[in-house]
Amino acid sequence: MSDILDEIGRPATDSLVLACLYKWSAGIGLDDAAYIAILTDEELTGGKYYDKLCYVFNQRGLFEGACAITADAGPDREICLGDTTTLGASVLPPIGGKIVWTPNEGLSSDTVAYPICSPNRTTTYLLTLKNDNITLTDSVTVTLKYCFDNPIGDEIKVYNTNRFATGGDIIVEVPTQTQQTTVQLFDMNGRQLRRIEHSGEERLLIDGANLAKGAYVLQIEADGKKARFKLVKTQ
């Protein structure tokens, strides 16, 4: 067999072996021939080449039911802040393999096939299925939308403070038709960490990532109206 492999190459050898099994085994189908190869590997090597055989057979559309290895993270999607979505469309890891989703921010678990996702910001998640022989990857992007049911009022408001505690962003709302807005974030030592100046926007986003645990002061000025909010970051 090694001489044949050297002469005609791997793809032709695979096809030849399966065709021979098919011809010499009372007309069994190619799926059955592939199954015989799996059983023979189990008997001769203890299943040493199971994953590699499965990979070859999957590439040829054979033996899909019992030998499927798929990494389909699912379609890209949009969700509103605070809503959840389930990642993964078809996730079947190889024998002895691991499932890893990265990053793990906003996931119920990063090692299950179909985690529940509720991110703090738009995130692209990478799905990796891996063992000693095979690595399969796929990705899905969850785009975060800020959905508001309430109309903008006459007061300065702050949203998403609960998610700020664990790394989320702060949403600042100022009265409609505000001409000039200044937003500043300070730590408790008075150091300015964030500053945004904007004209015409009624809702502004303050990045809450990469801040240390502790208390902060958010100071907002909108056309002369002023407001201060104390925020706490726990993670």
Q: What is the pTM of this model?
A: 0.60
Co-location of 128 and 167 in the same domain: no
Q: Is residue 49 part of a domain?
A: yes
DSSP conformation class of 50? H
Can you list the alpha helix ranges (DSSP code H) found in 117-172?
A: 161-164
Co-location of 162 and 226 in the same domain: yes
The per-residue pLDDT for 7 is: 58
Structure tokens at 55: 């990979």
Q: Residue 87 burial by CB count (10 A; 0-12/13-18/19+): exposed, middle or buried?
A: buried
Q: Is residue 203 part of a domain?
A: yes
Q: What is the chain's pLDDT, residue by residue, as a tens digit (235 residues)?
A: 555 556 557 776 666 676 666 666 656 677 777 777 777 776 677 667 776 777 777 777 776 555 666 788 999 999 988 889 999 987 777 666 789 999 998 999 999 889 999 998 899 999 998 877 678 899 999 998 887 766 677 788 888 888 888 888 888 888 888 888 999 999 999 999 999 888 777 888 888 888 899 999 999 998 888 899 999 998 8
Q: Is residue 64 part of a domain?
A: no
Identify the domain boundary among 30, 59, 88: 59
Residues 6 or more apart whose CB falls under 8 angstroms from that of 148 comprise: 203
Cα separation, 136 vs 27, whole angstroms = 34
Co-location of 221 and 168 in the same domain: yes
Q: Is residue 151 part of a domain?
A: no
The per-residue pLDDT for 32 is: 72
Print the domain residue range for 197. Answer: 157-233
**For residue 20, which amino acid is it?**
C
Phi–psi pair at 220, nearest 5 degrees: -130, 135
DSSP conformation class of 75? -
Identify the domain boundary among 17, 40, 59: 59
The per-residue pLDDT for 21 is: 63
Co-location of 138 and 166 in the same domain: no
Stated length of the chain? 235
DSSP conformation class of 228? E
Chain center to CA of 194: 28
Structure tokens at 79: 């969700």
Q: Is residue 193 part of a domain?
A: yes
Q: Are 5 and 13 in contact (CB under 8 A)?
A: yes
Give the CATH number of the domain where residue 136 resides. 2.60.40.10
The per-residue pLDDT for 47 is: 67
How many domains are there within the chain? 3
The per-residue pLDDT for 163 is: 85
The per-residue pLDDT for 5 is: 58
Co-location of 161 and 218 in the same domain: yes
